[in-house]
């Protein structure tokens, strides 16, 4: 049976490339986005690469996450790979940060991945197989200086901490692996046109973690194939 990967924020940028590369590596992909029209446009560019499903999913809405899980269950679809890619990047200075933007960043970049893990991780543990990839950033690394806008840095540092705690709760001796990854500085709407990496290059390290063999690393933070500091 071919593995199924669910990718949040799969309608543009790195997300589309993650979907494409997973399709080309033999996965069925569930491309999710908040905007149904955006999801369908992205799907139109990817359908030739392999079996693709689309779903409307707002990672900040617990009801939307639960509905996504139940729709897939009703269709007999088990999620083997969860890629928490959806994120936002407010640029406000810390002391001028509007509270609603701060809270929206944390809901999207941290609470959203937690909700998705709560929805899909228990079944992975029951099957003793799963891969969770939290798309983080060097901006969330204390070891690399937490560079960048404050809300984004704080949210990605928290996502890294969530990765560590998930791996700790899963424990050793299972084939359920959870890792964080920095895709690098990528030329997307978020990264800007001057970024040196293409979306395809940014997606490559994410897909590597999504397709780790049994016994692969867990509870770690990577850029490309190299571990980086928390």
What positions carry a catalytic annotation? 152
Distance CA 13, CA 56 (A): 17
DSSP of 63-116 = HHHHHHHHHHHHTTPPP-EEEE---------GGG--HHHHHHHHIIIIIHHHHH
Crossing angle for the helix pair 112-127 and 62-74, to the nearest 10 degrees? 30
Q: Output DSSP code: residue 55.
A: E
Tokens of 171: 């424990």
Distance CA 11, CA 45 (A): 10
Crossing angle for the helix pair 99-106 and 150-170, to the nearest 10 degrees? 30
Question: For residues 127-145, b (16+ Cβ closer than 10 Å) or e, as one string?
Answer: eebbbbbbbbbbbbbeeee
């Amino acid at each position: 049976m071919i593995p199924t990967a669910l990718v949040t924020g799969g309608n543009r940028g790195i997300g589309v490339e993650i979907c494409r590369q997973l399709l080309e590596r033999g996965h069925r992909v569930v491309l999710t986005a908040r905007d149904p029209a955006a999801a369908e446009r992205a799907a139109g560019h990817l359908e030739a690469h392999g079996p693709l499903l689309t779903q409307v999913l707002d990672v900040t809405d617990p009801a939307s996450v639960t509905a996504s899980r139940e729709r897939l269950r009703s269709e007999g679809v088990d999620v083997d790979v969860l890629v928490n890619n959806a994120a936002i990047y407010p640029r406000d200075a810390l002391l001028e940060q509007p509270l609603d933007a701060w809270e929206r960043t944390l809901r999207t970049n941290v609470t959203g991945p937690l909700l998705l893990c709560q929805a899909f991780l228990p079944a992975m543990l029951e099957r003793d197989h799963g891969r969770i990839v939290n798309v983080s950033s060097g901006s969330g690394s204390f070891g690399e200086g937490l560079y960048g806008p404050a809300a984004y840095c704080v949210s990605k540092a928290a996502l890294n901490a969530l990765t560590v705690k998930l791996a700790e709760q899963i424990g050793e001796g299972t084939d359920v692996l959870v890792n964080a990854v920095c895709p690098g500085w990528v030329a997307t709407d978020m990264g800007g046109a001057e970024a040196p990496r293409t979306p395809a290059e940014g997606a490559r390290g994410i897909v590597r973690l999504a397709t780790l063999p049994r016994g692969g690393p867990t509870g770690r933070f990577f850029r490309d194939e190299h571990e980086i500091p928390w």
